Amino acid sequence: MSVETARPSVLGRAGRFLRDHPTVTLILLLLALVALLQVLRPGIVNERWIGNTVKFAIPLAMLAACQTLTMLTGGIDLSAGTVATISAFVVATQAPLVGTGPALLIALFPAIILGLLNGFGVGICRVHPLIMTLGTGLIGIGCLQVYQRSVIATGSVVPPILEWLGTGRTGGLPNALVLFLPFAALILWAQGRSGFGRLLYALGANEDAARLSGVRAWQVYLALYALSGLIAGLAGLVYVGLIKAPSLSLAEPLLLPSVAAAVIGGTSIFGGRGGYAGTIVGALILTVLGTLLTLLQMPEGARRILFGLIILFVTTAYLRLTDQG
Amino acid sequence: MPMTQAEAGLPALDAQGVSKRFGAVVALRDAALTVRRGEVVALMGANGAGKSTFVKILTGALRRDGGDVRIRGQDTHLASPAGARAAGLIPVYQEPSLIRDLDVADNLRLGRTPADPFLHWVRELGIPDLRLDDRAGDLPLATLRVLDLARALAAEPDVLMLDEMTAALPTDLVERVLRVVRGQADGGRAVIYISHRFAEIAQICDRATVLRDGATVGDLPIEPGVEDRVVELMLGAALTPAAARDGGPRAMTGEPRLHVRGLSSGARLADVSFDLHRGEVLGVVALEGQGQDELFEVLAGQRRASGGTIEIEGRPQRFRHPADAIAAGLSFVPGDRADALLMVRSVRENIALPILAPLRRWGAIPMRTEGARVASAIERLQIDTRAQGEVRRLSGGNQQKVTIGRWVAGEVRTLLLFDPTRGIDVRTKRQIYGLVRDLADQGASILYYTSELPEIPQACDRVVVIFNGRVVEILDVAEATEERLMRAAYGLTSPEGRRAVAGAGRA
């Protein structure tokens, strides 16, 4: 009896390992899902499939970066889906008018404006991020509808460079990695090794303590939400290259999965804990899970139910094991 | 309330041998209090004497481990605040109890307080223009406290318990309140009056019951000169001369680093002036709620001053944000560690936080410099780093070291320590005194509030005593015996100090 209590339980030890190496454990889960897929449909896992999975995971992982960064401060960015859609729609409608280069710049402009608006609301007016970003998301989509009327005659073209980026491959690898690898490296570096990144964790862990240490929170929030808007805009550009059909609801289906990817990846919605590495794996897990459920040829309803249950299960198991309750 | 003849002769409240422990800590050993009809009894005790625990037990907020509490002679369990009310004991606490988002009328309905007697008492207490549809949150603090008292009076309690009833009240209201409270006793009720203010106690109380170290050590009738007896009882036999540390206080010359004049803020901080020199540790002594919290918050940029000036090295300062105070060289360690720490982050991140706060430091962190800085702070404070991944896993003492280490890692000029040794072990306390002395020897200035008097000779060069939002005494540590500090903290001071108290407009 005493021997049993003295030795940490299997669950306890697994928990400690998870705590120390959360990303490793998520990668194990990802590999398990891939193995399951291979068992169900032998031969499906090949280079081409991997390339496709990565291709679809990248826009999701980018939108999930918005959620991860804002969640580190205890916030969230529910306008990210709308912002991505706006950038995608604007680039496709402006490209025929002003050319690809200027269109890309014009497309990112509203993304940053909406981001700044979020930052203003959250950081200066102290509106809860959930409400603020929900509101700006609605405003953004309304503006887009107005904008759509004004450009209805011009038609839309997805610039070839975005198609190359979103869909193309080079030597079997998706071209989107050209953008995504430096992007991910930058975020991973910033979260741990830049003053800005540290302040995100500090605000999420204890905003009062950060204030007492001299942090002017509004500056951080303003920069954070503007950055989040920019990232969402970029994600929209990559995504429209992948889907090739801009619409007013283009990136909306990615919004909630982007939150789920960050949560599965171990970022606490209460702030202060987590990071982007887990989120990337979380986005891959969600993409593979999507394939798996499609392959099982379930009806759409059942697929969604299962998807929701799996997200709940993974998240609670993770929180339990890492003692974040 | 009608009473039987048998009840008439018994004390309204009689508590004997009450004890309570929290884990290994004994909060009360043998507390006793007797209040008869027609009496106002003062309940007194220094910080940590067990007064709040005793009050919580009497009002049903905590359960006692042992002892008897009899109300009108009947053994009472006092299982809940509602139970205590039903038994006829009604408390008025320091924190206003009205719900801020409801208007006064709804608050009355919620507490089943009859409106007519309530309004009668409100007028009696000196607030003629109260409207029942005022939202409680819109009323000033002083009014809210008076409304709490009126609400308690309207319920016609057998025993009225008032906790620092006159704190935050202007002078005219204080006079009214004292008169009404005395009138309650004269009308046959029993009143327990918890206060630090001897002047008020002398004015309205019949007896004073004194607690020390969880036990009742005295029950004295109020008569001229009783103050000295009470202070003696609160201090106990431990009136040994302070064991001063090596080397006396140094002579303070030249321009002070921190020059504070006439500082006021809110209802509690009225008029505080002092100088803090280079290389000096200036102790601050005050009973709870005398304005010391506000003083430190103003100096830290957490709260705005409503009057007075702060000069640092001769330059006037106005702080709008803690960042301004930090830029001016004032570093604040708050009393509650939970306010200062990122509990789920590492020791390193906690210590490095202030360095990264300014906008110009948002870029790449010089990891090696930071590592060396943090390591030297850890070394200097002897922080136990076995659990440095998350600060919440550290012991209280080590957490406190982290909050101080944060400022020691940089170049500290003026350190504001608010009760830095609260709730930590003796060894760590010693280390903190040592660190404070070291920092001062290297030229830092330190303002050191402590709720424990014996710390003063160990850490400080001079002491300011604050009472009722004003400085009542400034002493060199050599003259600062515990007795003298305690007397000053209760507003019983030397002639100059007494003038300062009189200046506050109190009787």
B-contacting residues in A 250-309 (Cβ below 8 Å): 272-273
* pLDDT score for B243: 45
Domains and CATH numbers, chain A: 18-321 (1.10.3470)
Least confident of A13-17, A195-199, B31-35: A13-17
Q: Are B190 and B159 in contact (CB under 8 A)?
A: yes
Binning pLDDT at 50, 70 and 90, where does residue B252 land? Answer: low
Domains of chain B, each with CATH number or no CATH = 5-235 (3.40.50.300), 258-354+366-503 (3.40.50.300)
CA-nearest residue of chain A to B297? Answer: A212
Q: Would you state the pLDDT for residue B239?
A: 43
Q: Which of A70-84, A127-141, B27-41, B245-259 has the lowest mean pLDDT?
A: B245-259
d(CA A183, CA B199): 70
What sections of A99-169 are H helices per DSSP? Answer: 100-119, 129-150, 160-167
Cβ contacts of B348 on chain A, cutoff 8 Å: none
A199–B344 C-beta distance less than 8 A: no
The pLDDT of residue A294 is 84
pLDDT at B193 over 70: yes
pLDDT-derived band at B25, boundaries 50, 70, 90 = confident
Rounded CA-CA distance B180/B200 in Å is: 13
* HSE toward the beta carbon, residue B442, CA cutoff 13 A: 11
Region of residue A268 (phi > 0: left; psi between -120 and 50: alpha; otherwise: beta): beta
Give the mean pLDDT of B396-417: 88
User: Rounded to a whole number, what is the distance in Å from the CA of A199 to chain B's nearest CA?
Assistant: 7
**Res A296: pLDDT:** 83
For A115-129, B249-263, B416-430, which range has the lowest pLDDT when averaged over its residues? B249-263
Closest CA to B69 of B57, B80, B61: B57
Q: Looking at residues B55-69, what average pLDDT do you find?
A: 90
- How do strand B13-22 and strand B66-71 relate by DSSP bridges? antiparallel
Instruction: Provide, as residue numbers in chain B, all residues whose Cβ is less than 8 Å from the Cβ of A209.
Output: 339-342, 353
- Check: CB of residue B379 under 8 Å from CB of residue B371: no
Cα angle A219, A225, A231 (rounded to 5 degrees) comes to 135
Rounded Cα distance between A77 and A129, Å, is 7
- Determine the pLDDT at residue A2: 37
What distances in angstroms separate CA A257 from CA A54, A56, A63, A253, A309, one per listed residue? 15, 12, 9, 8, 13
**Which pLDDT score is estimated for B251?**
52
* Predicted-complex ipTM score: 0.88
Query: Which tens digit of pLDDT belongs to each residue from B121-179?
Result: 999 998 888 888 999 988 888 889 999 999 999 999 999 999 888 877 887 888 899 99
Backbone conformation region of residue B176, classed left if phi is above 0, alpha if psi is from -120 to 50, else beta: alpha
What mean pLDDT, rounded, does chain A reach? 90
The reported pLDDT for the residue numbered B453 is 82
What residue of B is the nearest CA neighbor of A196?
Answer: B362
Name the band, by pLDDT with cuts 50, 70 and 90, for residue B32.
Answer: very high
pLDDT for position B454: 80
Nearest CA in chain B to A212: B322
Query: Rounded to whole angstroms, how far apart are CA atoms B234 and B485?
Result: 12
Q: Count the neighbouring beta carbons within 10 Å of the beta carbon of residue B237.
A: 7
Give which of B411, B457, B422, B421 is closest to B437, Cα–Cα.
Answer: B457
Spatial separation of the C-alpha atoms in residues A209 and A215, rounded to whole Å: 9
Is a pLDDT exceeding 60 seen at residue A233? yes
Where are the strands (E) in B345-423, listed by range?
Answer: 414-418
pLDDT value at B503 more than 80: no
Mean pLDDT, chain B, integer:
86
**Rounded-to-integer distance, Cα B344 and Cα A205, Å:** 6
Contact A194 B345 (CB under 8 A): no
| Assigned token pair, B483 | 């007795």
Q: Is B267 helix (H, G, I), strand (E, B) or coil?
A: coil
Contact of A170 with chain B, judged by CB distance below 8 Å, is answered with no
Q: What per-residue confidence (pLDDT) applies to B84?
A: 87
Instruction: Note the pLDDT of residue B169.
Output: 81
pLDDT attached to residue A216: 96
Tens digit of pLDDT for each residue in B416-472? 999 998 777 777 888 899 999 999 999 999 999 998 888 888 899 999 999 989 999
Q: Which residue, B164, B174, B224, is CA-closest to B194? A: B164
Separation CA A180–CA A183 (nearest Å):
5
CA B279, CA A151: separation in Å to the nearest integer?
71
Q: Is A261:A67 a contact under the CB 8 Å cutoff?
A: yes
Contact A213 B353 (CB under 8 A): yes
Give me the pLDDT at residue B1, please: 47
* Contact at CB, B339 and A209, closer than 8 angstroms: yes
Residue reference for tokens 């071209």? A175
Whether A121 shows a pLDDT value over 90: the answer reads yes
> What integer pLDDT is reported at residue B422 of this predicted model?
78
User: What distance in Å separates the CA atoms of residue B66 and residue B21, rounded to the nearest whole number?
Assistant: 10
pLDDT bracket for residue B496 (50, 70, 90)? very low
CB contact under 8 A, A201 and B300: no
Share of chain B above pLDDT 70, in %: 92
pLDDT confidence band for B78 (50 / 70 / 90): confident
Using DSSP, state whether B282 is helix, strand or coil.
strand
CB contact under 8 A, B321 and A198: no
A3 pLDDT more than 60: no
Q: Answer for the pair A187, B380: CB distance below 8 angstroms, yes or no.
A: no
Instruction: Please report which confidence band the pLDDT of residue A152 belongs to, taking 50, 70 and 90 as the band edges.
Output: confident
Q: Each residue of B210-226: pLDDT tens digit? A: 998 889 999 999 988 88
Distance in angstroms (rounded) separating the CA atoms of residues B411 and B442: 11
What letter would DSSP give residue B395? -
Q: Give the pLDDT band (50/70/90) at residue B275.
A: very high
Backbone angles phi, psi at A216, to 5 degrees: -90, 100
Whether residue A20 is predicted with pLDDT greater than 90 in this model: the reply is no
